[in-house]
Structure 1
Amino acid sequence: MDQKGINTTCTHTGELEDLQFKGAVSPLYMSTSYQFEDVAIKRYPRYFNTPNQEALCKKLAALEHAEAALIFGSGMAAISTALMAFLRADDHIVLQQTLYGGTYNFAVTQFEKYGISYSFTNGWTVADFEKEIKPNTKVIYIETPSNPLLTITDLKGIGQLAQKHGILSMIDNTFASPINQNPIDFGIDIVLHSATKYMGGHSDICAGVIASSQENMDMIFQTAICFGGSLSDYTVWLLERSIKTMAIRVKAQNENAMKMATYLSESRDVENVYYPGLETHPDHELAKSQMRGFGGMLSFELDSSIDASLFFKNLRLVKPSMSLAGIESTMLSPTQTSHALMTPEDREKQSIKDTLIRFSLGIEEMEDLIQDIEQAIAKVKSISVPV
């Protein structure tokens, strides 16, 4: 595969040529109905083959060093379609302990309906996964860096483990983005994304991605056309436009996250910081070996004397907002949002505390972000609590 530079790939791969007017950007084809006679391809939106869908999928495959890709209406549409394409009744799947709450909820509420058994690991080392493999295990599912504690899983080790046992390996690569990490290069079979996040990058697009070999994507396609998780062509066009700047945006977010993690780790008002770029992170060396950048996401715990709810209310620049990876910096409480569907007991197993704050770094100047955090903490400290 001819690999071009990352900014060149983001900008040009898979773009549609405007043959009529010679415009500089891909034209948008809004039709949901196409001719079926005397055509090479019978196009229909639910079959993922409209002109804009096809073009964007070429870009996505190139970004993840895959043979093919499909674009979906959300990250969960991509995740659920990929899983159900390869799992049948009496099959078993091994899932990483630290997972996005939506994925966790899908596993515990849906698999049993279809006679699919599952195991969550007790950690995220290769040995933890191997311990859970059974004769009927068909899939190993990982997430690295994980949401929200930024744990790091050994991509090469999991790829080799899956191959050894004849198991498919899948990864949610959302937090890293294809700018920072390409799991297929390490032997992972199927890569998933919530394209709502770094690919969209402006908090105005909802989409999901699956990228893999052509053989795997052919299998996934047969399930995808039944589930109907396709995306409108207008959103496809917007996403293709947004991806053009992804590498530039993510680089700035990487830099901001590294600076912010360092600042927070030195603050007296913060108890713990979770960011793989810090040398104190237990998986720092592993992250260095498989990531080109450490990402724009981090989590931290405020000192127990500081009310997190009041802290959110006193932020003026950073937005207390759901989702992540936009050009604007946002914070949220995982227990109230991304992991709210999990029981308190299950959150405790993953060490997700009520005091945990997930921080998505945008592209603002670091001085402004730090000033906002400091003024919010100062206001919370100044509030006297009546006895």
Structure 2
Amino acid sequence: MSKQKLGINTICTHVGEIKDEQFKGAVSPIYLATSYEFDNVDVKRYPRYFNTPNQEYLAKKIAALEHTEAAMIFGSGMAAISHMFLAFLKQGDHIVVQNTLYGGTSNFIREEFHKYGIEYTFTNGYNVTDFETAIQPNTKVIHIETPSNPLLTITDIKAVADLARSKGIISTIDNTFASPVNQNPIDFGIDIVMHSATKYLGGHSDILAGAVASSQEHMDRIWNVSKNLGGSLSDMTVWMLERSMKTLALRVKAQNKNARKLAKFLDAHSEVSRVYYPGLKSHPEHKLAKAQMHDFGAMLSFELVEGIDAMAFMKQLELIKSSMSLAGVESTMLLPSETSHALLTQEQRDAVGISNRLIRFSVGIENFKDLKQDIEQAITATKVASLA
């Protein structure tokens, strides 16, 4: 059966599973060996080569979900993105990077690239003209993130992919916030897709992993670098990730539904000054998001009105967790200025619009009315406490 014709829930459940030929179990067996026979075998397996049975088969699932020929699993999202960049950039090369970007990626570029003699330019905006203006004769890669972390800006995937292709430049994207359920950048011409698999692919806040998916040619190049850098993942974690991904589409669709409702609720709330969510018609890129996304995702950000302290508000939450990371089945909130973008300076955060009052909201699968009630009581409690 062609995986191209399978529905997304079927892909999540069955593509990339390892058949238990010996005992006929319903789930993939775990292969924990770090040493495999090398003579008279089709594949010389070694964990650091990303080709143990569990690694190999999970990569098939991710490739199927992202409509690519191949994929690889890494020890973290940062391992995935750093290996991806270093596979296509060398001394003297240049990369154009979207300015509205995950703080860890920005920090990696700023702190590490000069050691390799790699030049970089952060765009002034996220329109295609901003990327075109930043291109230099030695530009080899253009990297985007959409929806972006944490302001949910939307970049025109096809326009950037077309621009890169016309210049002979590799295009890459961080697709973490959308997940393969909501967005498939390869269909719009992007060359390479990466994920922090810690987030939606794992979905239960108990797995640290990353993933990259692309053509076999590009993945061979990434593998050639990665085998030397050693960012592979333990097979126990790989097995847990494959198990978690069986419910990926179900989880994300439930989270999407909650996020749409909560965004509208917050947008209409008198104590909320601004909401960032591409599913709102007031979002400046709403039409673009609608054109390139299957749904608008389960991430949003908002700012409370002046006078309501964001940190004090989060301390009053009873159901929603004040917690790092995102995309688990449980709803969480955090201040990007204190967490995901804390490595950036205040000036750098201000330049991309990340205020100290900005709250990032990762919407889970709880009942909408319970999440709404928790937000309402926390706002009320914060206001009362400020008057005491």
TM-score by length of structure 1 reads: 0.99
Amino acid at match of 2:91: A
Distance of 2:65 and 2:385 partners within structure 1: 49
1:80-108 CA distance string (max 9 Å, x none): 00000000111000000100000000110
TM superposition outliers: structure 1 runs of 4+ over 6 Å: none
Partner of 2:351: 349
The secondary structure found in structure 2 opposite 1:282 is coil
| Aligned 1:242-281 pairs, distance under 5 A | 242-281=244-283
Partner of 2:224: 222
Which residue of 90, 93, 118 maps to 1:91? Answer: 93
Identity %: 66
Amino acid at match of 2:36: Y
Amino acid at match of 1:162: A
1:138-158 CA distance string (max 9 Å, x none): 000000000000000001101
Partner of 1:364: 366
Kindly state the Cα deviation for residue 52 of structure 1 after the two structures are TM-superposed.
0.5
Which residue of 41, 49, 52 maps to 1:50? Answer: 52
Distance of 1:105 and 1:384 partners within structure 2: 36
The secondary structure found in structure 2 opposite 1:106 is helix
Partner of 1:12: 14
Partner of 1:135: 137
Kindly state the Cα deviation for residue 18 of structure 1 after the two structures are TM-superposed.
0.4
Partner of 2:80: 78
| Aligned 1:100-111 pairs, distance under 5 A | 100-111=102-113
| Aligned 1:173-322 pairs, distance under 5 A | 173-322=175-324
Distance of 1:365 and 1:74 partners within structure 2: 30
The secondary structure found in structure 1 opposite 2:336 is coil
Kindly state the Cα deviation for residue 40 of structure 1 after the two structures are TM-superposed.
1.5
Distance of 1:336 and 1:377 partners within structure 2: 20
Q: Check conservation: 2:3, 2:11, Cα contact below 8 A.
A: no
Amino acid at match of 2:147: P
1:119-144 CA distance string (max 9 Å, x none): 01111010010000010000000000
TM-score by length of structure 2 reads: 0.99
Partner of 1:337: 339
Distance of 2:135 and 2:71 partners within structure 1: 28
Partner of 1:39: 41
Kindly state the Cα deviation for residue 384 of structure 1 after the two structures are TM-superposed.
4.2
Kindly state the Cα deviation for residue 306 of structure 1 after the two structures are TM-superposed.
0.4
1:220-241 CA distance string (max 9 Å, x none): 0011001100000000000000
Distance of 1:383 and 1:100 partners within structure 2: 33
Distance of 2:306 and 2:196 partners within structure 1: 33
The secondary structure found in structure 2 opposite 1:124 is coil
Unaligned runs of 5+ in 1: none
Amino acid at match of 1:302: L
Q: Check conservation: 2:3, 2:15, Cα contact below 8 A.
A: no
1:321-344 CA distance string (max 9 Å, x none): 000000000000000000000000
Kindly state the Cα deviation for residue 385 of structure 1 after the two structures are TM-superposed.
5.0
Which residue of 306, 323, 326 maps to 2:325? Answer: 323
Which residue of 19, 22, 42 maps to 2:24? Answer: 22
The secondary structure found in structure 1 opposite 2:284 is coil
- Count of residue pairs brought into register by the alignment: 386
The secondary structure found in structure 2 opposite 1:276 is coil
Distance of 1:374 and 1:214 partners within structure 2: 50
Aligned-residue CA RMSD in angstroms? 0.8
The secondary structure found in structure 1 opposite 2:32 is coil
Distance of 1:316 and 1:274 partners within structure 2: 23
1:197-255 CA distance string (max 9 Å, x none): 00000000000000000000000001100110000000000000000000000000000
Amino acid at match of 1:257: A
Unaligned runs of 5+ in 2: none
